């Protein structure tokens, strides 16, 4: 059934939160990088040793594989 033509037009209900008139400024940029030396020094000695051993194993495998070709 169509709405009555004499009825007032529907009214939009107000939103529960008022929209801000101006947005706050964005935060200042923060440097997103750290020097590799700082990262390395921050690692415990055990982790540094594990990394050294892993790199050494990878290098040995690469050299061995390269000699086979």
- pLDDT, tens digit (0-9, with 9 covering 90-100), for 8-39: 777 777 767 766 678 888 888 877 788 899 99
C-alpha distances in angstroms, 36 versus 12, 46, 62? 58, 18, 24
Mean model confidence pLDDT for the chain = 84
Residues 6+ apart with CB under 8 A from 40: 48
pLDDT at position 43: 95
What is the pTM assigned to this prediction? 0.48
């Amino acid at each position: 059934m169509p709405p009555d033509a004499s009825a007032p037009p529907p009214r939009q209900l107000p939103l529960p939160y008022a929209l801000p008139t101006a947005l706050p400024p964005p935060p200042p940029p923060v440097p997103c990088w750290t020097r590799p030396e700082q990262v390395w020094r921050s690692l415990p000695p055990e982790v540094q040793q594990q990394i050294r051993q892993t790199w050494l194993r990878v290098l040995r495998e690469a050299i061995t594989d390269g000699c086979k070709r």
